[in-house]
């Protein structure tokens, strides 16, 4: 039996972000930016088919070590703060949903986190 995985695209990533409680979308530097209470957690680089998400440093190390084909630290200072590239053309939708939810939880207020059930790990 052949199992196929659905990969990500910018439209689906945007829909996922806007589905998270308290999320606002703004355009910053010409790119869609998603935040909760003025704290950014995801940017879409549609022309490069990637998303940049805010993970903790420990989360970033885990994901980039386990899956370097789909995740890499952003170069420079932002990468050292946990900002991580996610290559949407090849990452499975379920895995993207999980890490986008992690990024949202990293910046959302605790009372808002309680309103959302975590998705299963991809």
Q: How many CB atoms neighbour CB 117 within 10 A? A: 7
In the prediction, which pLDDT does 118 show? 75
- Flag whether 121 is in a domain: no
Query: What CATH number has the domain bearing residue 51?
Result: 3.90.1150.30
Query: In 3-state terms, the chain is what percent helix, strand and coil (to 5)?
Result: 40, 30, 35
pLDDT score of 117 more than 90: no
* Residue 56, both tokens: 């903790």
Tell me: pLDDT of 71 over 90: yes
Lowest mean pLDDT among 1-5, 37-41, 92-96: 1-5
- The verdict on residue 28 lying in a domain is yes
Helix (H) or strand (E) holding 24: strand 23-28
Whether 119 maps to a domain, the answer reads: no
Total of domains in the chain: 1
Q: Is 120 within the bounds of a domain?
A: no
pLDDT at 1: 53
23 lies in a domain? yes
Q: Which residues contact 43 (CB under 8 A, 6 or more apart)?
A: 28, 31, 32, 33, 34, 51, 52
Answer yes or no: is 85 within a domain.
Answer: yes
Structural domain including 76 reads 10-113
């Amino acid at each position: 039996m052949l199992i196929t995985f659905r990969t990500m695209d910018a439209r689906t990533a945007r829909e996922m972000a806007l589905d998270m409680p308290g999320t606002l979308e703004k355009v910053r530097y010409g790119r869609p930016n998603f935040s909760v209470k003025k704290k950014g957690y995801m940017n879409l680089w549609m022309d490069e088919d990637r998303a940049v998400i805010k993970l903790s440093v420990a989360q970033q190390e885990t994901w980039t070590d386990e899956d370097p084909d789909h995740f890499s630290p952003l170069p420079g200072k932002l990468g050292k703060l946990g900002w991580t590239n996610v290559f949407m053309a090849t990452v499975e939708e379920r895995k993207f949903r999980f890490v986008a939810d992690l990024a949202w939880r990293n910046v959302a207020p605790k009372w808002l986190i309680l309103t959302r059930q975590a998705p299963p790990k991809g």
